[in-house]
Structure formats: C-alpha cells, structure tokens
Amino acid sequence: MKIRKAKMDSKGKVRIEYEKESSEGVETHTLECEDSPRPEFQEALKALVGDVIEICEISCDADRITVLGVSFSWTHDIMGAVITAMKGLVAGGSPLLLNTPHRPSEPYGEKAGGPTLDLSTVKRLESVMDEATKYVMGERAQGTLPLKDEP
C-alpha cells in the first residue's frame, strides 16, 4: 500500500488516499471517516510543525501552527511530500493556510538539483504513512463502551 494523502481536519475527520496493487493493476482508494485515529496519528502530524516552520522559512511560535496533513508523491520509488498546515493569525479573523514546497526525500537523478528533505523529516513523514496505514487497516483510537450500570 502506498499512501498518497493523509489528513485530519479540525473536527477530527480523517481522509486517507492510497494505492494498492491488484491483479488488475494499481487501484486507488479514498477513506473518509470520523472515527478518531490513534493518538500516535495525531502526534505524527504534530511532529511536523518544526519542519513546516523551517521549510516555509517563517518565524513564529510552534503552538500557532497546526499540521493538517501530508500529500505524498512517488517518482522512481523516491518519496516526495507537501505538508499542509494552518497558522493562527492574531488579527486575521481566520487562519492562514500553508503548503510547503514539494520536496523529494532524495534527488530524482544525478543531475537533479534543488533542496531535499532532511533525513529526520523523512523519518517523521514515514511515521505519518505508518499511522495512516494502520488507520486504513482498522487500528483506531480505543472507544469507550457504556457500562450496564451507567445511566
């Protein structure tokens, strides 16, 4: 399974787009669900805040940035990513939406130039992909069941 997009909106709705190999070729799937993800999914997204600040070259407190999701691309089996986040504005009335520039995990070829993702960022992105895969496979936050004695 290749994760193409993993995101969670401010209301907790999760959307994951992924590709899966089948006998017919590559199938594209989208899962939209209101089931709460595992806390590790949310933590994996939150861990990318510093990367957004660095890649977008902005200076602000990390607590003003919320990572909403990641779009992944695959070229020659090399992962690329765009991180989507929002920044709270003091006087803006609504948040500023940010998309980082697309960056590959390594150069696409010998003569390819441009910046690439830091190894530490790649590991954090892999964590998002791992959590997204677990979500698709049914691993979600543990719900609570009402006890018989509760009203």
Beta strand 25-33 with 78-87: parallel, antiparallel or unpaired? unpaired
Q: What is the DSSP letter of 48?
A: T
DSSP E strands, the chain: 2-8, 14-22, 25-33, 65-75, 78-87, 96-99, 103-104
The pTM of the full predicted model, rounded to 2 decimals, is 0.89
In a structure prediction context, what are the per-residue pLDDT tens digits for the chain, which is 151 residues long?
Answer: 999 999 998 888 999 999 998 888 999 999 999 999 999 999 999 999 999 999 999 988 888 899 999 999 999 899 999 999 999 888 878 899 999 999 999 998 777 778 999 999 999 999 999 999 999 999 998 765 566 665 5
For tokens 């791992």, the residue is 130
Nearest to 51 by CA among 108, 110, 1, 126: 126
